[in-house]
């Protein structure tokens, strides 16, 4: 899933579940920032102390590294289904969608998040968990590891004439079988109707709109559980969400439609960094070497430890540790 779901849809569902606009923005921002937090270098707090950041997103040659697969992909994007040591025979790294009876770990993940007592920390933990749970829908049947189960082929894109029966054989040949890289971004498009052949040569047909709506219903249920507010707003918003999911357009235009339809603040990937740090925080599209220099040059602002950015990294570290304990 992309920005239109992880931020704009999550904001809409949080609001519908009874969270205030400010709370909804924190939940949604944390959800999307899981895809934007590429920082893993420590922050010098200038008082003899060091703050360790938590990388939750990675794309690059090191994705072949088991450390990346197990510590980034699985805890945040490809959540397995069971606790390995409790179910060693049935355990698999393959993702199953997080309906109540199908993904036990996603329910555990959310239940841990909502037990947090610090308000903003709780909202951020909820947002990170929702990102992971949402990805169990779009990433179903794929695994966060380098595995033959991800070695799929014959991608067919049915819905629009430019992509009708289009096969990405060139890209499919070169991309490694890690996650859904073999099928590019097709699982992330809310409007897509497509198919592929799995590693056993079975044809899998995917209607992303239907899958995304299943995710909406599950996440709204969880958010209502977390808010403790009686509301029926979901009855009114579902038809509008269906129309937005079916919209075939660029990501930027889809996000603009969500923003206008539900009056949502625009997502700014630098916002939380700027609230927490003095200095240049635009390190998303630079080399690791340059990012290291930028991170070493920033200065924490007053009350850094309670900033949303710092809390995000602490919450992400806790979710990683929790999932690793389950799947190790």
> What residue ranges do the domains of the chain occupy?
3-146+212-327
Give CA 79 to chain center in angstroms.
11
pLDDT, tens digit, 9 for 90 and up, residues 253-276: 999 999 999 999 999 999 999 999
141-to-124, 150, 164, 168, 297 alpha-carbon distances in Å: 27, 8, 23, 19, 42
Spatial CB neighbours of 196, under 8 Å, sequence gap ≥ 6: 152, 153, 154, 155, 156, 183, 186, 203, 204, 206
The phi and psi torsions of 173 (rounded to 5 degrees) equal -65, -40
Q: Among 43-47, 227-231, 318-322, name the one with the lowest average pLDDT.
A: 227-231
What DSSP line would sit under 160-193, residue for residue? SGGGBT---HHHHHHS-SBTTGGGTTGGG-TT-E
**What angle do helix axes 234-245 and 208-227 make, rounded to 10 degrees?**
150
- Determine if residue 50 is left, alpha or beta; phi over 0 gives left, psi from -120 to 50 gives alpha, anything else beta: beta
What is the average pLDDT value for the chain, to the nearest integer? 90
pLDDT, tens digit, 9 for 90 and up, residues 7-34: 999 999 999 999 999 999 999 999 999 9
Residue 226 pLDDT greater than 80, yes or no: yes
Instruction: Specify the pLDDT at position 175.
Output: 78
pLDDT, tens digit, 9 for 90 and up, residues 52-92: 999 999 887 788 899 999 999 999 999 999 999 999 999 99
CA distance 186 to 278: 38
Detail the DSSP E strand segments found in the chain.
Answer: 43-44, 50-51, 153-157, 193-197, 203-207, 277-278, 299-300
How many CB atoms are closer than 10 A to CB 50? 9
Give the model's confidence band at 227: pLDDT under 50 very low, under 70 low, under 90 confident, else very high.
very high
**b/e 171-207 (16+ beta carbons within 10 angstroms → b):** ebeebebbbbbbbeebbbbbbbbbbbebeeeeeeebe
What does DSSP assign to residue 292? H
pTM here is 0.94
How many CB atoms are closer than 10 A to CB 261? 15
């Amino acid at each position: 899933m992309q920005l239109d779901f992880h931020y704009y849809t999550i904001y809409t569902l949080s609001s519908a579940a009874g969270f205030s606009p400010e709370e909804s923005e924190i939940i949604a921002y944390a959800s999307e920032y899981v895809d934007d937090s590429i920082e893993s270098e420590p922050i010098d707090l200038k008082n003899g102390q060091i703050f360790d950041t938590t990388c939750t997103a990675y794309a690059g040659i090191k994705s072949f590294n088991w450390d990346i697969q197990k510590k980034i992909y699985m805890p945040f994007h490809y959540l397995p289904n069971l606790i390995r040591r409790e179910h060693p025979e049935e355990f698999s790294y393959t993702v199953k969608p997080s309906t109540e009876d199908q993904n036990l770990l996603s329910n555990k993940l959310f239940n841990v998040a909502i037990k947090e007592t610090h308000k903003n920390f709780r909202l951020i933990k909820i947002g990170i968990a929702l990102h992971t749970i949402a990805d169990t829908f779009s990433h179903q049947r794929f695994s966060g590891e380098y595995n033959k189960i991800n070695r799929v082929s014959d991608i067919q894109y049915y819905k629009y004439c430019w992509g009708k029966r289009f096969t990405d054989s060139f890209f499919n040949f070169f991309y490694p079988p890690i996650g859904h890289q073999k099928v590019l971004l097709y699982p992330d498009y809310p409007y897509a109707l497509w198919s592929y052949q799995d590693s056993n040569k079975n044809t899998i047909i995917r209607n992303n709109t239907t899958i995304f709506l299943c995710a909406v219903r599950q996440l709204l249920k969880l958010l209502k559980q977390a808010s403790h507010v009686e509301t029926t707003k979901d009855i009114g918003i579902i038809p509008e969400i269906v129309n937005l999911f079916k919209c075939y357009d660029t990501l930027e235009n889809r996000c603009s439609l969500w923003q206008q339809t539900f009056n949502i603040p625009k997502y700014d990937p630098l916002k939380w960094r700027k609230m927490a740090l003095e200095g240049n925080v635009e390190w998303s599209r630079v080399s690791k070497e340059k990012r290291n220099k930028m991170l070493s040059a920033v200065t924490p602002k007053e009350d850094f430890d309670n900033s949303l950015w710092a809390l995000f990294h602490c919450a992400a570290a806790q979710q990683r540790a929790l999932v690793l304990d389950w799947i190790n």
